[in-house]
Structure 1
């Protein structure tokens, strides 16, 4: 049996298993679904355990790794998935919204004196406004043109921060306040509302709560008329427009929602790190989050969470290999893309689009045929 046939059989076996799981989930009752949700939430709260950390991160503090990079990548991946996975818009400057949220926390916390919760609201609004400002003049572009403009926007934000002395310049901003603490509330032996320098677990629990709220919010959008409009735009923007979908309005909404999620994560992250500088917001972060979305299965929140987890965790797990850990990480990503080119957990709709060659990421990817489409085209040519 050829290598291609073996790979194809493995893909089909994994796909059949996932289809059975989806069918079972689709017919699950309400109480079964809520039981799973509660269990997942409890598991997330138990993750900082030292017993788990001994295996998951033997070379680094596991609770710190859970907050950054794992938790941060997961939340940024969910936000970018709204833009890339649901609306099909290729955004290479997503780190800019993360930076705007971080600088909002730094400036409003150190110079205006607002508390964390007030700044969180302000950071979300500022980031959403930035998404609208970026999307207004650029969302009439598609594919690689849109990608180049968003890449430029990300660099403009970073360079502006680096060359503006009023906001710290290349030195950045230090002394960012932590979220306000409430002592005496303990869960699993952790003072969960005491936000200090030594224990990263309260910040991780805060991130879990924020991520849960965002996932509920995004899923509500996805199942609404807005989500159906995004899917139509992703599959074929011209056809959607002909059918009466106001494509520009819905694309702008996707940019604003994705930006607001990135800004929220920036606020939470800055409150934990207490100092930021422009080098924290390099293009590689945007590229890494995009890789996580594609790897996990764009358009599917569980897949995006899994992809972000792997992209963030694998380099930390193999930190003991020193420089070779990046080689191992790269090899793992290549292997995953060979065996699961559509992503680890793609949605059925997304999987069908890729198989038909209508992958939908602007014009980029939409014209790339999947294996079945290519085989059919070759057969027709013969």
Structure 2
């Protein structure tokens, strides 16, 4: 609490007319009181004062968990997508906008999850592939008039190609060295976007990007095909939902394939995996390119949705945000990444009414989460155990 007061006082106590303590203390004592109550409840629970509540609840949760494990995964996926598809019918523009942001970051988080959660490589420059995908579609749309659906695989392919070029020369590195290389690559990409005036228009960005379009049957004058631009948020929501569904299914299939097993073996012990016959260099390069592919796809949709891109959208802060989603949700877990993306995008919006305090509350929630549940919201079910000698 003393440490918190030291942090709050410069934020709330420094005024144009001088220094004051009353405003800081008015906020601090409420937080101190709430933390004290939580601490007392925590210790009482440790001594068993709430067993009459916790035991029945724990048994009910355990029974529910056993019941849900017997339900096939595809059933839960269908239920989840059905609930997500119904959101635009019962919400306004604000909720739809936040939901689209969540789905974009889910695609980014799942792409980075392949690199970090499955293959165990620390990537601090993943946002570069997001930007490459966005600029690829922007240039194809503005200069060549290529539609979003044709540009989508091209954007993903361009991001994957750039990942192959940078990964071929850096995948033999490990740990912090690889992280520094990826961070430098992201900064190089951002500086290219910012300074290549003839191609990217520099810091002014690219304007005039076309939205996605579809052909629809028109029964007004007989039956004919009519082209519709998907400019409304409600329609763009379903495009984002489609891309998110493709990403989830693809990552799930990769994770439970022989390639996914090889990635997990490299993550646990790269030397042992190589001795057992796993081509570690090729598998790491494949993981890097696969993650970049989903990042480029998300970038193409971002450009189509905003219809404007600029280098300021692809800074290191965005890479740190995506990395936080993966770590907070649970590395290697698809549901965990989804929960992490929802938490990091929705929580700041929930605390928006707190104005100056919302980022403080947001940071505090993340800190408590990492202290009391470092494995993440939803860690992967599959555990690895090391052999021990008797």
**Rounded Cα–Cα distance in structure 1 between residues aligned with 2:302 and 2:372:** 34
Aligned-residue offset at 1:329: 0.9
Report Cα offsets for 1:112-156 as digits up to 9, x if no partner.
111111110110110111111111000111011111110111111
**Rounded Cα–Cα distance in structure 2 between residues aligned with 1:5 and 1:164:** 62
Query: Counterpart of 1:148?
Result: 180
Query: Counterpart of 1:37?
Result: 77
Distance 1:17 1:216, change over 3 A: farther
Query: Counterpart of 2:107?
Result: 75
Which runs of 5 or more structure 2 residues have no equivalent in the other structure? 1-38, 219-226
Query: Counterpart of 1:188?
Result: none
Distance 1:281 1:294, change over 3 A: same
Superposition map of 1:1-382 within 5 A? 24-28=67-71, 32-50=72-90, 61-68=94-101, 70-166=102-198, 167-182=200-215, 194-197=228-231, 199-349=232-382
After TM superposition, the runs of 4+ consecutive aligned structure 1 residues lying more than 3 A away are 1-7, 12-28, 32-35, 181-185, 193-197
Distance 1:118 1:315, change over 3 A: same
Aligned-residue offset at 1:218: 1.3
Q: TM-score, normalised by structure 1?
A: 0.80
**Rounded Cα–Cα distance in structure 1 between residues aligned with 2:95 and 2:44:** 40
What is the root-mean-square deviation in Å for CA atoms of aligned residues?
A: 2.9
Q: Greater Rg, structure 1 or structure 2?
A: 2
Aligned-residue offset at 1:321: 1.6
Question: Does the residue aligned with 2:332 lie in a helix, a strand or coil?
Answer: coil
Aligned-residue offset at 1:342: 0.4
Q: TM-score, normalised by structure 2?
A: 0.78
Distance 1:135 1:292, change over 3 A: same
- How many residues are paired up? 333
Aligned-residue offset at 1:26: 4.8
Query: Counterpart of 1:359?
Result: none
Asked if 1 retains the 8 angstrom alpha-carbon contact of 2:104 and 2:244, the reply is no
Distance 1:18 1:335, change over 3 A: farther
Question: Does the residue aligned with 1:204 lie in a helix, a strand or coil?
Answer: helix
Question: Does the residue aligned with 2:123 lie in a helix, a strand or coil?
Answer: coil
Distance 1:232 1:6, change over 3 A: farther
Which runs of 5 or more structure 1 residues have no equivalent in the other structure? 54-59, 186-192, 357-382
Asked if 1 retains the 8 angstrom alpha-carbon contact of 2:230 and 2:236, the reply is no
**Rounded Cα–Cα distance in structure 1 between residues aligned with 2:60 and 2:379:** 13
